[in-house]
Amino acid sequence: MSFRKSHPPIGARPGTLAIPPDSPPPQIRLVAYDAQGVEERDVGDVETLAALPGDRIIWVDVRGLGDETVLRRIGELFAIHPLALEDAVNVPQRASSTLYENQQVIVVRVPRIGEDGTIDAPQVCFVLGPRFLITFQERPFGFFEPVRARLRAGIGPMRTLGPDYLGYALIDTLIDRYYPIVQTLSEEMEELEAEVIEHPLEDSLAKIHQVQRKLVLLRRIGAPQREALAALLRDHSPLVGEPVRVFLRDTYDHAAQIMEAVDSTREMGIGLVNLHLSNVSQRTNEVMKTLTLVASIFIPLSFLAGVYGMNFDYIPGVHQPESFAIFVGVIVAIAGGMLWWFRRRGWLGSRRR
Amino acid sequence: MSFRKSHPPIGARPGTLAIPPDSPPPQIRLVAYDAQGVEERDVGDVETLAALPGDRIIWVDVRGLGDETVLRRIGELFAIHPLALEDAVNVPQRASSTLYENQQVIVVRVPRIGEDGTIDAPQVCFVLGPRFLITFQERPFGFFEPVRARLRAGIGPMRTLGPDYLGYALIDTLIDRYYPIVQTLSEEMEELEAEVIEHPLEDSLAKIHQVQRKLVLLRRIGAPQREALAALLRDHSPLVGEPVRVFLRDTYDHAAQIMEAVDSTREMGIGLVNLHLSNVSQRTNEVMKTLTLVASIFIPLSFLAGVYGMNFDYIPGVHQPESFAIFVGVIVAIAGGMLWWFRRRGWLGSRRR
Amino acid sequence: MSFRKSHPPIGARPGTLAIPPDSPPPQIRLVAYDAQGVEERDVGDVETLAALPGDRIIWVDVRGLGDETVLRRIGELFAIHPLALEDAVNVPQRASSTLYENQQVIVVRVPRIGEDGTIDAPQVCFVLGPRFLITFQERPFGFFEPVRARLRAGIGPMRTLGPDYLGYALIDTLIDRYYPIVQTLSEEMEELEAEVIEHPLEDSLAKIHQVQRKLVLLRRIGAPQREALAALLRDHSPLVGEPVRVFLRDTYDHAAQIMEAVDSTREMGIGLVNLHLSNVSQRTNEVMKTLTLVASIFIPLSFLAGVYGMNFDYIPGVHQPESFAIFVGVIVAIAGGMLWWFRRRGWLGSRRR
Amino acid sequence: MSFRKSHPPIGARPGTLAIPPDSPPPQIRLVAYDAQGVEERDVGDVETLAALPGDRIIWVDVRGLGDETVLRRIGELFAIHPLALEDAVNVPQRASSTLYENQQVIVVRVPRIGEDGTIDAPQVCFVLGPRFLITFQERPFGFFEPVRARLRAGIGPMRTLGPDYLGYALIDTLIDRYYPIVQTLSEEMEELEAEVIEHPLEDSLAKIHQVQRKLVLLRRIGAPQREALAALLRDHSPLVGEPVRVFLRDTYDHAAQIMEAVDSTREMGIGLVNLHLSNVSQRTNEVMKTLTLVASIFIPLSFLAGVYGMNFDYIPGVHQPESFAIFVGVIVAIAGGMLWWFRRRGWLGSRRR
Amino acid sequence: MSFRKSHPPIGARPGTLAIPPDSPPPQIRLVAYDAQGVEERDVGDVETLAALPGDRIIWVDVRGLGDETVLRRIGELFAIHPLALEDAVNVPQRASSTLYENQQVIVVRVPRIGEDGTIDAPQVCFVLGPRFLITFQERPFGFFEPVRARLRAGIGPMRTLGPDYLGYALIDTLIDRYYPIVQTLSEEMEELEAEVIEHPLEDSLAKIHQVQRKLVLLRRIGAPQREALAALLRDHSPLVGEPVRVFLRDTYDHAAQIMEAVDSTREMGIGLVNLHLSNVSQRTNEVMKTLTLVASIFIPLSFLAGVYGMNFDYIPGVHQPESFAIFVGVIVAIAGGMLWWFRRRGWLGSRRR
């Protein structure tokens, strides 16, 4: 999920919809509710949306973007700004919050971690009007089920507050999805830390790099999200009432907490890379000391043995019977002296306290 | 104490209380005071709080979060916003300061260093109203004893100013708890510095890494704390009077000073890692020079001895009696020449001034 | 395309036009349009521009800067500020947005990636007046063809809104040109990542460095561009109407998204460099372990063999027939002991899980 | 001078004075002046300060903090805010500037470099009232002598402007004390740079680390100082007149210049560490090349000599008289060939241009 | 040109002039102009300036600071604030822009690159009054010649606008002097990049370090310059008219462009250092592989030859005639096996694609 945008051709006019080729056809689910009750149904024909009763709050959940005609028709029916429709369809957009006259358009990216550990971040776009909320999902995800259940049950201010509260509840649900991912990455990093400190493996660093990459990715998705929520709070959108703002501030705090966790995990990773590098250097140093020790003792001794193996007719001491004992004595003395010198330099013995 | 949140399930409605399973049952301590006197008592039945005399300042100290019914009842009695109650119970929250209509809710994280050197940061949540203060502690900590004593003694403006001053005094007490921890870490880092400079050990770097991790953690807890205090000062909460603001600014200065100490200790740690890495490289270099010296001198000499050990019928000089002396002379000359060359390259002798 | 500026001589008066020596002569294309229709023609003589009908929106597209007289005359005819004209001609300028009394001057840099992978960024300067738009291109590029086509077709608000919308449409087209370049660099970096993790080559790092350099360059061009768009939005230029501001905000979002992609690709590159460095260290460590193993086992054994090859008259055991078998036994024991010790230290066997 | 605070016990009430145990008893020097003249005298009994004539500007210089009663009495006499008095006494505080009703309290840290190169930063606290200035010094330093002399001589606006100008003059004198320290550290770093480039020593890096630590420390002291001055200018304190603000801006510029010098020296240090690390790597590389050269040539040759030293009954060529000459020829050819190969790989000969 | 300040003694009163000992005596050049004409003459006696006609714009160019009396007299004649005079004389100051009542004082640092590649930055101080401009140069530089020529020729608004335009023209000329220096450093860095990638030398890193140091220096001089220009624009000085502000904004853009070029060149340098370090590591790795290859093959073989060179009476196979052939076969098999193993591990053959 790197930088890849199903972008309209360069120079295309704004509002051009670049529908990804593998998009499923849109499933439209209509929810109309007020304090008294909730009515839910799937909408087969988009024209049904043209004649909605005005007294209830309308939530149109569009799942799948594979039919331009339908999307354009929804855009017309709810007077959605062409750029807002473009944001909804041309995925992935940067998370953002924009006010178009009397509609607040919020783009949310929902991080998911796949079976194989890759992260992707499908997009959900919210178009919030005075009495309706439209959500565009790339494909039919199950993100919204818990909120739908709360809506049916009518718990809390769910049905008494306007569509802004519904939008908040949905966005909060999506932001919550960051937690398990950040926790997974954080735990992976902690396991890698134990591994690096206790018994580093050849591919430890590559694994740290993989986790770091996912954190960079998560940051790239999540930081604009936090900013978008901050902007929504700061700009005092007329479509978000004061009671809902209090809740949104809580969501913002969650987003900020998530980004701080991402950042401190990344810093931990940077520290781990340094630790690992130093471990490798230290192990190389250990290996070198062993080699130097063995070679420095035996290479000179070998030379000495070689000298007495030469075929010169006259080599001093060759014929004395005590020579071998003297030779052994000299050798032991040399070896002992070098060991003493190595020990003095601290190259012998463990240094771990 | 990494990123772990006793978080309600994804999509849960706001205000859901996710009480950690091992929470002790709440102990409620009621303090009612005015300039004349202080009355303290433990409250067994939460309903006692329903009928409090209105003329004194009330401090309800809730220690332990293990009973949702009791917590909800306190929330009802003091009209606490659902999100505020959620912040108080769903630990750990990010340190923050939020105004809910006529209540200022402040979340404080109190760093503690355990026997085994691990850092955790239990949370205390303050709900400050016009005439009352409620504090929620995760478990029955003794953090507040000194302030309680001052309250009994009636020293300073403790009883003449409102609950905002009490809140300040308690928060200040909690922020003070950073000092010994930062000092401990700072001293550990200084000891590690002495160790790295004088006699680096194999696990020095792992120990530096451990201290750095704790500093990152402390930063992650403390930086939002500093921001929360700054926000409280900046936003001119109606619940914090001007006389108390002056005191809070002092607390903010302490928080800032602590974060600066954390940051400069961390920078010191980064410098230490570099120093250590370079030390290892330098030691490897020393080891290599020794090996190279020994091997470069004796390997050619061994070859020479090997040549005269060959069994060729005719090798020049083998039968001359003076050959061995000449051989020794040649060897000494070669060894001397190489030593001279090594010295000229600066590979011999210490380089420490 | 490093820091090279066809800059006027030091101390030249402002407004001096430093025309690059190889500039092609200007081709002037005049487009006059209103909601009813579009008229396009090439203008051979600059004086034709002196007598333009006032009721249509005028777009003068100047391609090539090789004739100072013509450029100065255009400046006079449209009352362009000398500094604005200097910005248009003295390429390359930093991307910027400046209000000169009643003209908004916007400098846009258009990144291009050449056949050989080098990046350059020719400049297009927009002078936006109340009823006209003048564009200055360094040479006759084809950047504007798609917009020209949309203008002819009259799609969208192209002909109903003023020259500010035309300017927006052109700038948006130019910003879109960043996408394929960032995507190319991002993909190159991902390929290099696979290379470094799976089978690092000698020049992998030099290739990463090349990509990093291009990203630094792209950042240097793009960051002022993003700022210029932000300034244009923030300063509420009287020449940019509210409907067009909404569109420009979308363009700004694109520029921000591009810069975020550049930054996260760069961070990925930094991680890769560390990974590669560590790989090299680890491989050196592997190589050293092999050498140490072989040398540590066979150098002492060689010494032992050398001892029994000496020509001393008396060497214990030389004449016993069982000596060789004992010698072989001792040797096998020594080698086995060392192997056991190496294995215990973890220097034998792979460490990849 | 690391993070060590003579801090009151946790939970102590604000305004608690934690007098460091080794504080000398306060010496109080009273200066009363106006345009006509200056009167100076040492005050033995603090009660003398209770009856001061109101028509002159009063400067009370308290040197030494070792008597709580005296300090508290001064606080009462001049109506100093308890927190201000706490700031003055509980050293070291962070440099700051705070307005307490009608008193401006400024904490200044004065860096000093000791004989042994360690840096400490005693604190001077200024309490500026409408007609008086009180200074609290940790011990009797001589910092203020030059200003006292100027006051006596009545040079410049010293006696015509109010106590704010006196405060400025004293603060400016203290800030000036940064210059020689920064210059010393900057020169040490430049010497280390020359050392690293020309003849790096074993402990060069440890010395760079020491200088870096002092710079980090200086930054930690000086950055809040700069901020405090900026805050003093920004907040338009009623106690600092417009003529004095112009002078204070100059002091702020000095503080900013000092911090910039600290930062660029630190960056230089970071560059030096990298340079040194690379030098060590490069020297290791040189050493390795020498070893490889010698070993790669002579180890195979030794083997060849060893082969002809074997005691096999039949070894080809052993009995031919020309064998030795051929052997020498082969050896020279092998050695020559390897040298040629090494040279081609660039491992022979210096690489310094 | 490091941190060195001809600073007055600590505690000196503000306005003290610390004239550097080697300052040349001031040469004063007076230019009086209006739209009609220009009059230029050298002023020998400073008192001449006391009686200047009031109807023309006056430019007093003071070159050299070696006479305190003259400088103080100029200060009196034009009512220059003592601190402004101090800024002009006590070189080097930080680049700044300050408003003293009715005078705008601007300090500009002019970077110069010497024959030996060192950078210095003499200072020019501008004192801009309503009808006059005074410039103080450290020594008689030729910086202002081009502007003087334009003034004589009366090109552009040079003589019709006030002294603010003259000031702008002079400052713009000085800022232009950054361009060739930044370009030189940028080109040096690019040459070093080619060197490091194609054939790194022993001192490449030291050279990169030198260029980096100059860039740090340039940043330290130039960043306050950019800030000073930004402050001049932001603060809406009453002495700088609106027409001149437009021009100054252009100068600010140049300063910003220069700093961006400095920053991206520095980032390139950091990348180069990493590239070089990795190259050295990789070369060490190559060298080690060669050594390991040769040693691992021949050391065991040498041992084998040594075994058959022993003087044991009984060594199996010594007396069989076919033994030598078998021995050679075994040796070739061992060597071949090891080569095969090394190739499988990827230690043989080049890895460059």
pLDDT tens digits in sequence order for chain B, 353 residues long: 344 445 567 767 677 787 877 889 999 999 999 988 899 999 988 888 888 877 899 999 999 998 889 999 999 999 998 888 888 888 788 899 988 888 999 999 999 988 888 888 999 999 999 999 999 998 898 899 989 988 888 877 888 889 999 999 999 999 999 999 999 999 999 999 988 888 878 788 889 989 998 998 899 899 999 999 998 998 888 899 988 998 999 899 999 999 999 998 998 898 888 888 888 888 888 888 888 888 999 999 999 998 888 888 888 888 888 888 999 999 999 999 999 988 888 777 644 44
Look at residues A313, A294, A315 and name the one whose alpha carbon lies nearest to residue A305.
A315
By three-state DSSP, how is residue D39 classified? strand
CB contact under 8 A, A261 and B3: yes
Q: Chain D closest CA to B203's CA: distance in Å?
A: 19
Residue found by looking up tokens 């002037």 in the block: C28
- Closest chain D C-alpha to E334 CA, distance in angstroms: 14
Q: At what angle do helices B242-307 and D204-234 cross, to 10 degrees?
A: 160
Q: Which chains touch D (3 or more CB pairs under 8 A)?
A: B, E
Chain B residue numbers with beta carbons less than 8 Å from the beta carbon of D218 are none
| pLDDT score at B4 | 46
Q: Which residues from chain B sit within 8 angstroms of residue D200, using beta carbons? A: 351
The beta-carbon neighbor of C305 closest among E145, E250, E306 is: E306
Q: What is the pTM of this model?
A: 0.80
Q: State the average pLDDT over residues A60-75.
A: 92
| Alpha-carbon gap: E233 to the closest alpha carbon of chain D (Å) | 18
CB contact under 8 A, E147 and C11: yes
Q: Which of D150, D300, D352 comes nearest E203 by C-beta?
A: D352
Task: Give the Cα separation of B146 and B123 in Å (integer).
Answer: 18
Q: How many Cβ atoms sit within 10 Å of the Cβ of residue A316?
A: 12
Q: Closest Cα partner for C259 from C230, C229, C218?
A: C218
Q: What Å distances lie between residue B331 and A308, A322, B214, C207, D290, CA to CA? A: 14, 25, 60, 50, 20
Give the pLDDT confidence score for residue C351 in this predicted structure.
47
Chain E residues whose beta carbon lies within 8 Å of the beta carbon of residue D267: 216
**Cα–Cα distance, E45 to E85 (Å, whole number):** 19
Question: B312 CB contacts (<8 Å, ≥6 apart)?
Answer: D308, D317, D318, D323, D324, D327
Nearest CA in chain D to B348: D287
The pLDDT value given to residue A51 = 82
Give the CA count within 13 Å in the CB-facing half-sphere of C243. Answer: 14
Distance of CA C165 to the CA centre of its chain: 28
Task: Give per-residue pLDDT as tens, A300-323.
Answer: 999 999 888 888 888 888 888 888
Closest CA–CA distance from residue B312 to any residue of chain D (Å): 5
E180-190: pLDDT as tens digits: 999 999 999 99
Q: DSSP 3-state assignment of C212?
A: helix
Read off the amino acid at residue C14: P
Look at residue E3 in the predicted model and tell me its pLDDT. 46
The chain A residue lying nearest C173, using CA atoms, is A11
Task: Compare all CA atoms of chain D with the CA of E277 and give the residue at the minimum distance.
Answer: D278
For A321, counting Cβ atoms within 10 Å of its Cβ (0-12 exposed, 13-18 middle, 19+ buried), the class is exposed
> Considering chain C, what percentage of its residues have pLDDT values greater than 90?
40
Query: Is the torsion defined by CA of C228, C229, C230, C232 positive or negative?
Result: positive
Q: Measured between alpha carbons, how far is B82 from B72 in angstroms, rounded to an integer?
A: 9
Provide, as residue numbers in chain C, all residues whose Cβ is less than 8 Å from the Cβ of E281.
277, 280-281, 284
Q: Write the DSSP string, E274-312.
A: HHHHHHHHHHHHHHHHHHHHHHHHHHHHHHHHHHTT---
Q: Is B5 helix (H, G, I), strand (E, B) or coil?
A: coil
Please report how the helices D163-176 and D242-307 are oriented relative to each other, as an axis angle in degrees rounded to 10.
Answer: 10
Among B88, B94, B82, smallest CA distance to B23 is for B88
Please give the pLDDT value at position E332: 94
Q: What is the pLDDT of residue D82?
A: 86
**E316-325: long-range contacts (C-beta < 8 A, 24 or more apart)?**
E316/C324, E317/D312, E318/D311, E318/D312, E318/D313, E319/D313, E320/D313, E321/D313, E321/D314, E323/D312, E323/D313, E323/D314, E324/D310, E324/D312, E324/D314, E324/D315, E324/D316
DSSP assignments along E129-171, one per residue: -SSEEEEEESS--STTHHHHHHHHHT-GGGTTS-HHHHHHHHH
Contact C100 E264 (CB under 8 A): no
- Is residue C96 helix, strand or coil? strand
* CB pair distance less than 8 Å for D288 and E290: no
Mean confidence (pLDDT) of chain D: 87
Nearest-angstrom CA–CA distance, A78 and A66: 19
pLDDT for the residue C343: 86
Residues of chain E with pLDDT under 70: 1-8, 11, 349-353
Give the pair of three-digit tokens for residue B236: 């001119």
CA–CA separation, C167 vs C31, rounded Å?
A: 13
Could you tell me which residues come within 8 angstroms of residue B37 by beta carbon, excluding any fewer than 6 positions away? none
Q: Which of A86, A123, A81, A122 is nearest to A104 (CA)?
A: A81
- What residues have CB less than 8 Å from A336, skipping those under 6 apart? none
Chain A partners of B309 at a C-beta cutoff of 8 Å? 306, 309-311
Q: Is the dihedral of CA E339, E343, E344, E346 positive or negative?
A: positive
The pLDDT score that the predictor gives to residue C8 is 64
- Would you state the pLDDT for residue C83? 86
Chain C contact set for A319 (CB, 8 A): 313
Residue among E186, E190, E234, E299 with most chain C CBs within 10 A, to mutate = E299
pLDDT classification of D6: cutoffs 50, 70, 90: low
Q: Do A13 and C197 touch (CB under 8 A)?
A: no
Q: Where are the beta strands (DSSP E) in C110-245?
A: 112-113, 119-120, 123-128, 132-137
Closest Cα in chain C, distance from residue A122 (Å): 16
Q: Give how far D335 is from chain B: nearest CA, Å.
A: 12
Q: Rounded to whole angstroms, how far apart are CA atoms A113 and A214?
A: 10
Q: What is the spatial distance between Cα C154 and Cα D350, in angstroms, rounded to a whole number? A: 71
Distance from CA of C18 to the nearest CA of A (A): 31
The pLDDT score that the predictor gives to residue D8 is: 65
Task: Summarize pLDDT for A205-254 with one digit per residue, the tens.
Answer: 889 989 998 998 899 899 999 999 998 998 888 899 988 998 999 899 89
Report the C-alpha gap between B156 and B198 in whole angstroms.
51
Check CB contact under 8 Å for E305 and D310: yes
Tell me if C274 and A276 make a contact (CB, 8 A cut-off): no
Cβ distance A351 to B202 less than 8 Å, yes or no, reads yes
Residues 6+ apart with CB under 8 A from D171: D106, D108, D126, D229, D248, D251
Q: Are C161 and C169 in contact (CB under 8 A)?
A: no
Hey, how many other C-beta atoms are within 10 angstroms of the C-beta on C206?
Answer: 16
pLDDT higher than 70, residue C328: yes
